Amino acid sequence: GAGVSQSPSNKVTEKGKDVELRCDPISGHTALYWYRQSLGQGLEFLIYFQGNSAPDKSGLPSDRFSAERTGGSVSTLTIQRTQQEDSAVYLCASTPLARLATDTQYFGPGTRLTVL
């Protein structure tokens, strides 16, 4: 596709349920990132993929969060046993390579997660 796409655009769930958020990066982009945008915290890095491997998961806030990427393309961020503090906009970004500090990251529109 022309840009990074994410689904769903909005997700409302009950506390304790599991959710899956999907990201489709720009075709050919090998690097993929997940960020979280929440009130008071700004934009926080969660995890980075280079191809299908995740060399850095240091931003994941707890072991309830996990992510995978298959075929070097689509990525899924899973949050288990959601809590109200997980409510945020989850953003995905991709870039052709992650080797250069000059690379521009291209962001998707985000998934707004609301945990009731």
Partner 1 sequence: GDSVTQMEGPVTLSEEAFLTINCTYTATGYPSLFWYVQYPGEGLQLLLKATKADDKGSNKGFEATYRKETTSFHLEKGSVQVSDSAVYFCALHDNSGGSNYKLTFGKGTLLTVNP
Residues that bind partner 1 in the complex, under the rule CB under 8 A: 31, 33, 35, 42-43, 45, 48, 50, 55-56, 59, 91, 93, 98-110
Pick the closer one to partner 1 by CB: 2 or 14. 2
N-term to C-term CA, the chain: 33
Say if residue 8 is preceded by a cis peptide, omega within 30 of 0.
Answer: yes
**Closest distance to partner 1 from the beta carbon of 22 (Å):** 15
Pick the closer one to partner 1 by CB: 82 or 90. 90
Pick the closer one to partner 1 by CB: 31 or 88. 31
Nearest to 19 by CA among 59, 67, 77: 77
Only one residue has tokens 């090998």, namely: 30
